[in-house]
Structure 1
């Protein structure tokens, strides 16, 4: 296996760092899947045991000026590595003003992603900073565990308000309860609510966009104003909102009634899917 990539454009370096920063805020460890066209960051916990699933895509052509790789074989030209995103971020924290960054797959006692950062100096000499980020190679037999999650048929799909607005509200709500109920309908309405023995608090949004229209044939028994809802872990939701260092163009919330919530974030060249299981009631 072989991989080598180089980022030169300053805006690409900064964008790449912000994307990794977002990922590091919401997951501690994940699988990095490297293909000739795309980088994927994947987390696939067992939803039935309360786990989450994350699927983040970064088209390499939007970030890397140089890119070369050889996978495990000609037929399976891919590389799967288990990595801690926070370690990658630590290696990139000095890179905001870098002339260029090189990322290579190396072996130094153990497999590593070696990050070389060329920093500017007041003299004509360059200053090269090298970080070795330990990784683990995922065996080929385990690759099927890290395929893109299949989307269920959602009961409702709605574009969410601004992340910053939601974050402020959820941060206050999480002091009341560990659970949050998300509810939405095909009239462009979204409702966030928490309840205790003493008080119930809810926030309502109207005139939001439903990016996917209601299937009248399959949903003939459901009226557009009827809410579909899901109860989720409010702390995980708050962590998801506060971790966004890339301001997405839009965030879509898809709900399977009382089963699962799926968030889809789109920002130009980057997409992130986040599956959050529902708390049983």
Structure 2
């Protein structure tokens, strides 16, 4: 079976291309879900089994302006309705710390240098807007420190602001992750997000949220022992 899509307006096409190019760097195969309002790109590897997971939403542009129509056929496989529940939006874990990220290019530059020294990197952050990237081996210990990043004002279910877990602001939450998986995520970004957020469930998972205009991308990387 083949999938055919039409994109109206060159600006929308360029925007869509940047999103697809980003996804292609993160996954060779992914699930595409369509609705009347949004497109969803889904990578549903089981984080609990060591795989990464991704959820990307792209709002469908208005089709009222016709400047150019581009048509492209690609082969697809249709997912049976009985399996649709496997591709729902992932629930956000009960994180310990949420923090705004410095420019992704800066993090990418740091991680690229670190990967030559270790296969793993520790990401740690606190509620004072501080984040560290660290590698530790028998031969070397290296750390890069970021300050004054700020912490997102999340809203609880009861409408109050705050985090789901009470923490001492200076206390660091940390997770040790595969440095190649982190670098793959950083190297694939072509969306240039207006906001980048890192959430840490201590010693369990790191998940990133990238926001830019009508695009949001969530990316989950499991922690290693």
TM-score by length of 2: 0.90
Cα distance, 1:240 vs structure 2: 0.3
Whether contact under 8 Å (2:95, 2:164) holds in the other structure is no
**Match of 1:122?**
none
**Match of 2:158?**
none
**Match of 2:202?**
257
Cα distance, 1:7 vs structure 2: 2.0
Q: Check 1:14–1:224 CA distance in 2 against 1; reply closer, same or farther (3 A cut).
A: same
Please give the alpha-carbon distance, in whole angstroms, between the structure 1 residues aligned to 2:24 and 2:165: 39
Please give the alpha-carbon distance, in whole angstroms, between the structure 1 residues aligned to 2:106 and 2:39: 30
Cα distance, 1:99 vs structure 2: 3.6
**Match of 2:217?**
272
For 1:7-66, what per-residue CA distance to the aligned partner results, in whole angstroms no more than 9, with x for missing partners? 23221111110100000001111110011111100011112210111000011136x558
Whether contact under 8 Å (2:118, 2:135) holds in the other structure is yes
**Match of 2:69?**
100
More strand by share: 1
**Match of 1:183?**
124
Q: Secondary structure at the match of 2:61?
A: helix
2:17 pairs with 1:25: no
Please give the alpha-carbon distance, in whole angstroms, between the structure 2 residues aligned to 1:212 and 1:253: 13
**Match of 2:133?**
192
Q: Secondary structure at the match of 2:184?
A: helix
Please give the alpha-carbon distance, in whole angstroms, between the structure 1 residues aligned to 2:162 and 2:172: 15
Q: Check 1:3–1:45 CA distance in 2 against 1; reply closer, same or farther (3 A cut).
A: closer
Q: Check 1:244–1:212 CA distance in 2 against 1; reply closer, same or farther (3 A cut).
A: same
**Match of 1:148?**
89
TM-score by length of 1: 0.73
Q: Check 1:217–1:55 CA distance in 2 against 1; reply closer, same or farther (3 A cut).
A: closer
Q: Check 1:10–1:193 CA distance in 2 against 1; reply closer, same or farther (3 A cut).
A: same
Q: Report which of the two structures shows the higher radius of gyration computed on alpha carbons.
A: 1
Gaps of 5+ in 1: 67-97, 103-114, 116-131
2:196 pairs with 1:244: no
Higher RCO, 1 vs 2 (CA within 8 Å, ≥6 residues apart): 2
Q: CA RMSD in A?
A: 2.2
**Match of 1:201?**
142
Q: Secondary structure at the match of 1:148?
A: coil
